[in-house]
Every structure is written in C-alpha cells, then in structure tokens.
Amino acid sequence: MAEKACKNCRFIVSEGGKCPNCGGTELTDKWSSYLIVFDAEKSELAKKIEAKMPGKYALRIKA
C-alpha cells in the first residue's frame, strides 16, 4: 500500500484506513514533501504544523 496523508492532521499513514494520530479516515495519496518529527515538544517546525506525536507529516496536501 502506498503511503497516504491524513487530511485532518497531515500524519502519513503507511497501512490501514485510519489515522493512528487523530483517528481520521479521510486519507489521500495526493501529497508531496514531508517532515519527520522526532520530538514534537522541542521542534519549532512541529509546532508550526501542530504535530503532537513523533512520525512523518505531509507538508503539502493537494485538494
């Protein structure tokens, strides 16, 4: 399965049809560029995209 991004929180999901971060089911494969967050508390970029947990987040989600 191709990686998909959650439209609600941008978290990249590699398997399953539900986002483990927010529980959302609206996933899309139309995304580009990603950010890997190791420590959401210390990362300024993670705060900017409102990332709450470690993982991969899409920076651009196409409509």
Range of the structural domain that residue 31 is part of? 4-61
pLDDT of residue 1 exceeding 70:
no
Q: Residue 19's domain is classified under what CATH number?
A: 2.20.28.90
Number of domains in the chain: 1
**Is the pTM higher than 0.85?**
yes
pLDDT of residue 63 exceeding 80:
no
Encode pLDDT of 3-55 as tens digits. 999 999 999 999 999 999 999 999 999 999 999 999 999 999 999 999 999 99
Radius of gyration of the chain (CA): 11
